[in-house]
Amino acid sequence: MRAVSVHEDAIVVTSLFWQLNAVALRAGGEAMLIDSPYFPEELELLPTVLEQAGFEPVALMATHADFDHLLGRIAFPELSLGVAESSMLRIRAEPGAAQRELRDYDDRAYVVRPRPLSLGQTQSLPVPGRLGLGEQEELELHATGGHTSDGMAVFAPWLGVLVVGDYLSPVEIPMISPGGSVAEYRGTLAALAPVVERAKSVVPGHGAVLDRDEALGVLEEDVAYLDALVAGEERGALPPGRDSGEQRRIHAENLRAAAG
């Protein structure tokens, strides 16, 4: 796990697994943690890392209800977890799904956890909407969909930091998971474009932090990829830096999702 400051009031913590990013944002001495790293050792160390940096969170957020973004509750079991209304609906419609997926991936990677994931203190947030942080600042919450049926991007305008969840990744092609769709994914990219224009740093769910121009470049590549996906191009060119065996596997699954 590594921690990098992208602003004096914003830290990105990246897991060794899947280049999974968690983001701590601060305003007026109050901090919020968005998403989470993966490994038990990383989650155990996370409270100390954030406390020493002056980013001890008062609450947690998750960009969507995929299990790998919900693990902040393991590191901070006493804190509530805020999710979009769409994510809360998904969690309620699929009771225990995140826990089962986490156990499945842990089994594959031989990971042993000291305690299971609990989503007991989870709160629904209105999205689109705003959420106060500190005494004067507000986070902007923007609805996302297409990767899954739920989600939100979080923008801290006073920092210029945009946290987009599993969109705009420089290491992963657009992934159409169950509940998602190409049409909704395209709609999300169109909605994110003007927010990216306002940002200085864009933090994807997986991969390196992007500056504004880099993020707009990834967005353009993702739109082109989705166009090719709709056209049914089985061996179409994947975006530069994302043409690997694993991304080809995801592409094959996307083709099935787009056709179905």
Question: What is the SS3 string spanning the chain?
Answer: CEEEEEECCEEEEECCCCCEEEEEEEECCEEEEECCCCCHHHHHHHHHHHHHHCCCEEEEECCCCCHHHCCHHHHCCCCCEEEEHHHHHHHHHCCCHHHHHHHHHHHHHCCCCCCCCCCCCEEEECCCEEEEECCCEEEEEEECCCCCCCCEEEEECCCCEEEEECCCCCCCCCCCCCCCCHHHHHHHHHHHHHHHHHCCEEEECECCCEEHHHHHHHHHHHHHHHHHHHCCCCCCCCCCCCCCHHHHHHHHHHHHHHHC
Rounded Cα–Cα distance for residues 159 and 251 (Å): 35
- pLDDT, one tens digit per residue, over 44-100 is 999 999 999 999 999 999 999 999 999 999 999 999 999 999 999 999 999 999 999
Tell me the mean pLDDT in the region 217-230: 96
Query: What is the CA angle 153-120-140, rounded to 5?
Result: 20
Rounded Cα–Cα distance for residues 145 and 139 (Å): 19
Half-sphere exposure of 91 (CA within 13 A, CB side): 26
State the first-to-last Cα distance of the chain, in angstroms, to the nearest integer.
38
The percentage of residues in the chain with a pLDDT greater than 70, rounded to a whole number, is: 100
CB 170, CB 121: distance < 8 Å: no
Q: What is the CA radius of gyration of the chain?
A: 17
Q: Which of 2, 3, 6 is nearest to 212 (CA)?
A: 6
- pLDDT, one tens digit per residue, over 156-166 is 999 999 999 99
Task: Name all domains of the chain by residue range, CATH numbers in brackets.
Answer: 2-259 (3.60.15.10)
197: phi then psi, degrees, rounded to nearest 5: -60, -30
259 pLDDT higher than 90: no
Q: Which residues make beta-bridge pairs with 161?
A: 156, 201
Asked which of 27-31, 58-62, 177-181, 255-259 is least confident by mean pLDDT, the reply is 255-259
